[in-house]
A and B are shown apart, each in its own frame.
Chain A
């Protein structure tokens, strides 16, 4: 390729691999936040109190239809104005976690709504509390059909972590920018970042598809 320098490539590779670890950490951390917040957003839409449902519904729509990049800036810069001094990592994980929580809440909602009414009535008949019904009857059944959607968003969150570089989270993209600025060479760092993303997300997407197929088989949804 054009003016590709292999010795430069080898010299920056260790730094990029180290940053890959941070990218994975950001994706994993953000995903954990999203899993928990998403469940809260999904359950909040199922309370008998209608105004809460409407407000949360609109909040989810709002988060889903505005750019993550803008949300990252909003949380990072507005936080201090209301007395919350957030580190880049905290702000970044909060933003990406909240963004994907909105998507995951839809996955959960779909899963929960797919459970037949009879399950609720049976749980009521044996005098189970609502919390116990969710924990022991509804969520275990709602989870398997949601796995594929959840897996796809895990890959999605991984691919969105470069946006955290704008507030100084030292993940892959940020490291590549720093290397580029130090050496006035962008060809190798940016290309390597692209290759590292491919090397991780292609197998990950393949695993998600296999896992989905396996779950469907186990549930008897397909041969």
Chain B
């Protein structure tokens, strides 16, 4: 036990820095994912066929391939086509784009499951389509899709671990580095596992539950 505490104090800097990078990657990835999910999810419901096609192609490509393949492609192949992203940016953009595609299906499903009467009532009140979406449909769709988004957030957190493979110095990267210099694999990888677990179980999940309850209260359903 005391040798483990010694291990922790010796590598505290690396672990803390890695955790900070992981958190930054997580927050930025989540923002990208939410934005893309809402845009693509709504576009799949748009009346315009070309827009619908663009959204569908995006969703199928990102859902049909692996996150790791996407990451390597965006980081190593895109520069050959003239678009060079720094690794930190490539990391959260790819993770966000990948989970945004999964999220788009959640957005689409939730919007479609808002009862028909709500659409008709908004129409009867002469609301414009944009206003109807913003004031009537989206708030209710949000309450419907929040529970699956809770799982999605944990998946995004886990997904950020892959950015270590393009050398973003996140928690995963640091644990590998510690393992490489000390050969204390159980301590290095075990500590990282525990940190990810604590974040997912005691930070991300409770936060999403709280959001669910807050949302239900605002809609007068709690």
* Contacts A/B (CB < 8 Å), 29 sampled: A64-B154, A65-B154, A65-B157, A65-B196, A65-B200, A65-B201, A67-B158, A67-B161, A67-B162, A69-B165, A70-B161, A73-B175, A73-B179, A74-B186, A77-B179, A77-B185, A77-B189, A78-B186, A160-B66, A176-B72, A186-B77, A187-B80, A190-B72, A190-B76, A191-B73, A197-B65, A197-B69, A198-B60, A198-B65
Who on chain B is nearest to A75 by CB?
B189
- A151-181 Cβ-contact flags toward B at 8 Å (1 or 0): 0000000011111011000000100100010
Q: What is the interface of chain A mostly: helix, strand, loop, or mixed?
A: helix
- Does chain B have a CB within 8 A of A68? yes
Contact between chains at A67 and B179 (CB < 8 Å): no
Number of A-B contacts (CB under 8 A): 112
Q: How many whole Å from B207's CB to the nearest CB in chain A?
A: 14
Going nearest first, the 9 A-B pairs with the smallest beta carbon separation are A65-B200, A67-B161, A77-B185, A74-B189, A162-B68, A197-B65, A67-B158, A198-B64, A159-B66
**Residues of chain B at the chain A interface (Cβ within 8 Å):** 60-61, 63-70, 72-73, 76-77, 80-82, 154, 157-159, 161-162, 164-165, 172, 175-176, 179, 185-186, 189-190, 192-193, 196-197, 200-201, 205
Q: A61: nearest residue on chain B (CB-CB)?
A: B201
Task: Indicate if the CB atoms of B172 and A67 lie closer than 8 Å.
Answer: yes
Nearest chain-A residue to B165 (Cβ)? A166
Counting contact residues on chain A (CB < 8 A from B), the size range is 35 or more
